[in-house]
Amino acid sequence: MSETIFGKIIAGEIPADVVFEDEQSLAFRDVNPQAPIHVLVIPKREIANIAAAGDDDAALLGHLLLVARRVAEQLELADGYRLVINCGPDGGQTVDHLHVHLLGGRGLGWPPG
C-alpha cells in the first residue's frame, strides 16, 4: 500500500471514524469537514485519481458511487447531498488516492468554487 494518509488508514496505521467498510472500499468522516456531514469514500486498491482510472476500473468506480449512496441513506441525508471527485492540483486534490467526497447536512450552494 502507498504511503498516502489514505493508504495508512486502510492499513490501520492511522485511526479513522469509519462509517462503512467492505472488501473493496472504506468510508470515513473527513477530519476537516466542509459540511455538517463530510465523508470520504475510497477504494482499498490504490488509484491515484480519476484520470488514472482505466476501463477495467469501471466496476470499482460504480461501486464507490453505490457506497456513497448507501452511506447517505445510513446518515439520513434524505433532503439531498453532493458527491465530489477532485482530480489533480488544479482540481483541488490534496491526497493522491482517488476519493469521493460525500457532503450534506445543509443546503449546498452553486457554483461550488
Q: Count Cβ neighbours within 10 Å for each residue of 21-51 and write b for 16 or more, e otherwise.
A: eeeebbbbebeeeebebbbbbbbbebbbbbe
Instruction: Provide the pLDDT for residue 3.
Output: 86
From 38, 63, 97, 99, the catalytic residue: 99
Question: What's CA 54's distance to the chain center, in Å?
Answer: 18
Render pLDDT for 26-80 as a digit per residue (tens, 0 to 9).
Answer: 999 999 999 999 999 999 999 999 999 999 999 999 999 999 999 999 999 999 9
- Which domain CATH number covers 93? 3.30.428.10
Closest CA to 71 of 102, 31, 32, 105: 102
> Is the CB of residue 23 less than 8 Å from the CB of residue 60?
no
- Give domain status of residue 57, yes or no: yes
How many independent structural domains does the chain possess?
1
Give the three-class secondary structure for 100.
Answer: strand
Range of the domain at 90: 5-104
What pTM, to 2 d.p., does this model score? 0.95
Q: Is 38 a catalytic residue?
A: no
- Give domain status of residue 111, yes or no: no
- Give domain status of residue 109, yes or no: no
Render pLDDT for 87-97 as a digit per residue (tens, 0 to 9).
Answer: 999 999 999 99
Instruction: Provide the pLDDT for residue 111.
Output: 87
The arithmetic mean of pLDDT across residues 77-85, rounded, is 97
